[in-house]
A and B are shown apart, each in its own frame.
Chain A
Amino acid sequence: MARRAVEAALAGGADYADARVVVLRHQSLSARNGDLDSLVDSEQAGLGIRALHGSSWGFYAVAELGNAAARRAGERAAEIARASAMVSGPKMPLADVPVVTDRYETPHQEDPFSISTGEKADLVVGVTDLLRETEGVALARAGVTFWDTEKWFVSSQGHEIFQHLVESGCGMSAMAVGEDETQIRSYPQSFGQFETGGYEVVRRWDMPSAAPRIAEEAVALLRADPCPSGEMDLILEGSQLALQIHESVGHAIELDRILGWEAAFAGTSFLELPNLGSFRYGSDLMNVTADATLPGALGTFGYDDEGTPAQRVDIVREGVWVGVLSGRDSAALAGVNPGGMVRADGYNRLPMVRMTNVGLLPGSGSLEEIIADTRRGVLMSTNRSWSIDDKRLNFQFGCEIAWEIVDGRKGRMLKNPTYTGITPRFWASLDRVAGEEEWVHWGTPNCGKGQPMQVAHTGHSAAPARFRNVRVGVRA
């Protein structure tokens, strides 16, 4: 069927075409205060084809699975691409990639869709019951989410690739409500933790065991002192650092942003291509890779949606910017190797540059040792708010909880912690990164980009780290 679509696009005048047939199953269950408040299953199936003509991609998607619909889609994709010639630019080149016939499947132990709905419901409802055992918890939530994706990829250059991807995740939160405030604690991180893998992911994160601590911290936050304002050392727990990497590194290194393709919506980047290989992004301890081969990480796959093999690419090496996230078109324009980082949100969206697993490589030591080595500062954990400008320079994050650090000891709990900074200055202040023992492949299941909007699943490996002299405690 995908081949029929590609043939029709070529017959319609396309210089190049590729097609994906995707069958995506999704299930989510969520509980609130002892009741299952949502059980949603969906199955999306269809074909999407893109055709390159001159300077533009034309894309067309149909929800029908059949050769006639596929041919119609191919013809329409080519027609749409041709119409773009009314407002055309330079011819879009495509970088060469190996033409392969292959299969890939996410390694997993337990098919999450084979676990009974009843068992999943009991888990999330039971977790909210556990959270509410702590007096003062007003709103207890828990949920699990699973995706099972089968996709067939065919290109006019001869690619034929089948992939079966399995992703699983879970999360819970406890909220305490005060007179004019709410306080929340989440586990494993805000919005939950997501990985490639099966139901074993949910079992491993063991929400019931963490529930009492999370609930107690949420209630205690109502009585905690506010985070002080000023410049001080900042220690970030791993999941918050993961989001910091996502926002201030991952998006900034997207080649489509650097080339201006996202200027009107997601924005551009402070990075400029002539500085690739020389720009100092951060301190010598900053080593960042984009690695789509990491076992278990959320941004792991066999091939991207252009048929380019998953790979590991150096992004920042000892503080120097050396790599980008790219696809075949953007890589050819920029003169870099295509990184296999183009993915689409379902059959009905045009593939675009997306993060894979963009992570900070571990250093040495432990969070405990970093705290012991800090004279005055704050330790912040679990994201609560995030905002960054359209060039990925000026950011501000809020966390759910913090602790004061004085003379190497973790002291009083602090509420409403925030910090702000300018990306390269912030990363230049990185002076400690914990070791591999505390390095976790955090997953972000809600990365929005593109028009029409697409949501991508990305991974960000991180261990706790320390930054010097950061502005904390921004207030309204």
Chain B
Amino acid sequence: MNPQEIADRVVDLVAGRAEAHVNVLTGPSALTRFANSFIHQNVAEEQLEVSLTVAVDGRVATRSGSRIDALEELVESALEAARLRPVDPEWPGVAPPEPIADFGRYDPETASAEPARRAEIVRDFVQAAPQLRAAGYCSTSADRLGFANTAGHRGEVGRTVAILDGIHQTDASAGKAHRASARIADLDGSDAGAEAARLATGSADPADLEPGRYQVVLAPECVATVAVFLAAYGFNARAHIEDRSFVRLGSRQFDPAFSMWDDPEGGLGFPVDVEGTPKRRVVFVDRGVSTSLAHDRRTAGLLGADSTGHAVPGGAQFGAFPTDLVVGPGDRSVEELVGSMERGLLVTEFNYCRVVEPKSLVVTGLTRNGTFLVEDGRVVGAVSNLRFTQSFVEGLAEGAVLGVGSVCRFADSELGPTLVRAPAMRLASWNFTGGARG
């Protein structure tokens, strides 16, 4: 059975005894991992996950499973669990029928990619700098999501994702390159390997730098991490309702050069969320002004709004999250951003970022895979990784964004790849609180 047929079958089994929404995810997923310049772990799976949410007179339970031969048991146990729990006062009902866009992001070549195809890309990455040590992965997945609910809303959508993410290493440094696309044909291992190798060799002799406040040029990976934290802790309607968010709608909380929105059409996510709502384009920050929140059906119901189509698994507890974020590009090249900096740091990537205080969004983390000192507009050397403790909101406040790169690309983030397209960005001040010596 295809995922749509499985979903329809589950709704049939509910047989009018409850409101119900079911999602069925299928498809191949594979990841070829390399380290010390050879493939050491090479994995693949046939995905199958059925997730059913039922509401019996407002009593809600969710049950998921991977056994297609046990759908009746899945349905009966979900109904039984729901009957035993209290009424959920926030239950918003299942999503009504609505057309779902097809963004045409299912690439047959990616869907059928064999391990040898991924190995070729890895080989090209490694051979771009055979004198260095390479590590990373090349993955492909071809997901099909079928869904159906008791309101008559049903459909099936597909997507493919191909990712190449790798580093080259010297004894004292590393450089990274990241590529993501719906098409495996877009992954150029040689080009990515050369980029990673340039960063690694360029930072091969790092010096220790005194912590303190520095101007920074943040590469897209850093900006992507800032974006996902802003979204999860700020523009999440659940956090806003519970007064845990820094967001004040209608206020200029950021520099006019900073805009951020969710654009499902240009992203790599599904066009529909886990509640069956079509994902909508939502502008969170419009030229510095906080404008909107990401909603699922629960938070939309509480605030009298419409769901924006950003429900995620676990959202009843944590709220909504946009999976196709864009940080608005500017008009500068990275060279121009660096060239206009009198003294500061060029940071390739953040690592291990964690929230110290959620409402002010103070985050601590480290730099990784290439940190460079810039003086008089030129990179003058590499520096050892630094720790920062910085409010992400203050870091982007009015007057703090001194330039934005023109190239906006898929960038890896602290919460994973494919979530954000981001440019490089030059900021007036970033608070580095520790270095190699503590």
CB of B45 within 8 A of CB of A62, answer yes
Q: Which of B411-438 contact A (CB under 8 A)?
A: 416, 431, 433-438
In the complex, whether B160 has a CB less than 8 A from a CB of chain A is: no
Q: Given A41-B63, A56-B40 in contact, is the A63-B86 Cβ separation under 8 Å? A: no
CB of B166 within 8 A of CB of A89, answer no
In the complex, whether A394 has a CB less than 8 A from a CB of chain B is: yes
User: Chain A residues with Cβ under 8 A from B176's Cβ?
Assistant: 264
Size band of the interface chain B makes with A: 35 or more
In the complex, whether A210 has a CB less than 8 A from a CB of chain B is: no
User: Chain B residues with Cβ under 8 A from A175's Cβ?
Assistant: 242, 244
Q: Which of A34-80 contact B (CB under 8 A)?
A: 35-46, 48, 55-65, 76, 79-80
Q: Shortest Cβ distance from A60 into chain B, in angstroms?
A: 5
The one of A45, A60, A385 in contact with B354, judged by C-beta atoms closer than 8 angstroms, is A385
User: Chain B residues with Cβ under 8 A from A46's Cβ?
Assistant: 66
User: Chain B residues with Cβ under 8 A from A396's Cβ?
Assistant: 364, 387, 389, 433-434
CB of B119 within 8 A of CB of A86, answer yes
CB of B62 within 8 A of CB of A36, answer no
User: Chain A residues with Cβ under 8 A from B242's Cβ?
Assistant: 138-139, 175, 177
By beta carbon, the residue of chain A nearest B127 is A87
Q: Shortest Cβ distance from B87 into chain A, in angstroms?
A: 9
CB of A40 within 8 A of CB of B63, answer yes
User: Chain A residues with Cβ under 8 A from B174's Cβ?
Assistant: 263
Q: Scoring B residues 363 to 382 as 1 if CB is less than 8 Å from chain A, else 0, what string do you get?
A: 01110100000000000000
In the complex, whether A348 has a CB less than 8 A from a CB of chain B is: yes
CB of B365 within 8 A of CB of A387, answer yes
Most chain B CB within a 10 A radius of its CB, from A37, A260, A389, A422? A389
User: Chain B residues with Cβ under 8 A from A385's Cβ?
Assistant: 354-356, 364
The one of A32, A39, A263, A471 in contact with B169, judged by C-beta atoms closer than 8 angstroms, is A263
CB of A38 within 8 A of CB of B86, answer no
CA distance A394 to B387 in the complex (A): 8
CA distance A390 to B244 in the complex (A): 30
One of A113-121, A191-199, A278-286 at the interface: A113-121
CB of B431 within 8 A of CB of A38, answer no
By beta carbon, the residue of chain A nearest B388 is A476
CA distance A84 to B62 in the complex (A): 40
CA distance A259 to B317 in the complex (A): 39
The one of A89, A181, A350, A352 in contact with B359, judged by C-beta atoms closer than 8 angstroms, is A181
Q: Scoring A residues 249 to 262 as 1 if CB is less than 8 Å from chain B, else 0, what string do you get?
A: 00000000001111
By beta carbon, the residue of chain B nearest A418 is B356
Q: Shortest Cβ distance from A300 into chain B, in angstroms?
A: 26
By beta carbon, the residue of chain B nearest A125 is B86
CB of B352 within 8 A of CB of A389, answer yes
Q: Shortest Cβ distance from B200 into chain A, in angstroms?
A: 12
In the complex, whether B362 has a CB less than 8 A from a CB of chain A is: yes
CB of B86 within 8 A of CB of A264, answer no
Q: Shortest Cβ distance from B146 into chain A, in angstroms?
A: 15
In the complex, whether A12 has a CB less than 8 A from a CB of chain B is: no
In the complex, whether A308 has a CB less than 8 A from a CB of chain B is: no
CB of B42 within 8 A of CB of A83, answer yes
User: Chain A residues with Cβ under 8 A from B165's Cβ?
Assistant: 264
CB of A87 within 8 A of CB of B85, answer no
The one of B45, B62, B387, B389 in contact with A348, judged by C-beta atoms closer than 8 angstroms, is B45
CA distance A186 to B103 in the complex (A): 44
Q: Which of A163-217 contact B (CB under 8 A)?
A: 175, 177, 180-182
In the complex, whether B167 has a CB less than 8 A from a CB of chain A is: yes
CB of A38 within 8 A of CB of B243, answer no
User: Chain A residues with Cβ under 8 A from B317's Cβ?
Assistant: 30, 32, 37-38
In the complex, whether B343 has a CB less than 8 A from a CB of chain A is: no
By beta carbon, the residue of chain A nearest B77 is A41
By beta carbon, the residue of chain B nearest A423 is B438
CB of B431 within 8 A of CB of A476, answer yes
In the complex, whether B357 has a CB less than 8 A from a CB of chain A is: yes
CB of A117 within 8 A of CB of B84, answer yes
CA distance A129 to B387 in the complex (A): 40
CB of B43 within 8 A of CB of A42, answer no
CB of A474 within 8 A of CB of B433, answer yes
In the complex, whether B72 has a CB less than 8 A from a CB of chain A is: no
User: Chain B residues with Cβ under 8 A from A35's Cβ?
Assistant: 86, 88-90
Q: Which of B318-355 contact A (CB under 8 A)?
A: 351-355
In the complex, whether B60 has a CB less than 8 A from a CB of chain A is: yes
By beta carbon, the residue of chain B nearest A263 is B135
A-B contact sample (7 more), CB < 8 A, given A182-B244, A387-B364, A389-B366: A84-B39, A117-B81, A139-B244, A175-B244, A348-B45, A420-B434, A474-B364
15 A-B residue pairs with Cβ-Cβ distance under 8 Å, sorted by A, are A39-B62, A58-B115, A63-B66, A65-B67, A87-B126, A175-B242, A182-B358, A260-B133, A263-B167, A264-B135, A390-B351, A390-B366, A452-B29, A452-B43, A474-B433
Chain A residues engaging chain B, CB cutoff 8 angstroms: 30, 32, 35-46, 48, 55-65, 76, 79-81, 83-84, 86-89, 92, 116-118, 121, 125, 138-139, 175, 177, 180-182, 259-265, 267, 348-350, 352, 384-390, 393-394, 396, 398, 416, 418, 420-422, 425, 451-453, 471, 474-476
Q: 9 shortest A-B CB distances, which residue pairs? A: A89-B38, A83-B115, A61-B45, A84-B39, A63-B48, A264-B135, A59-B43, A86-B119, A263-B135
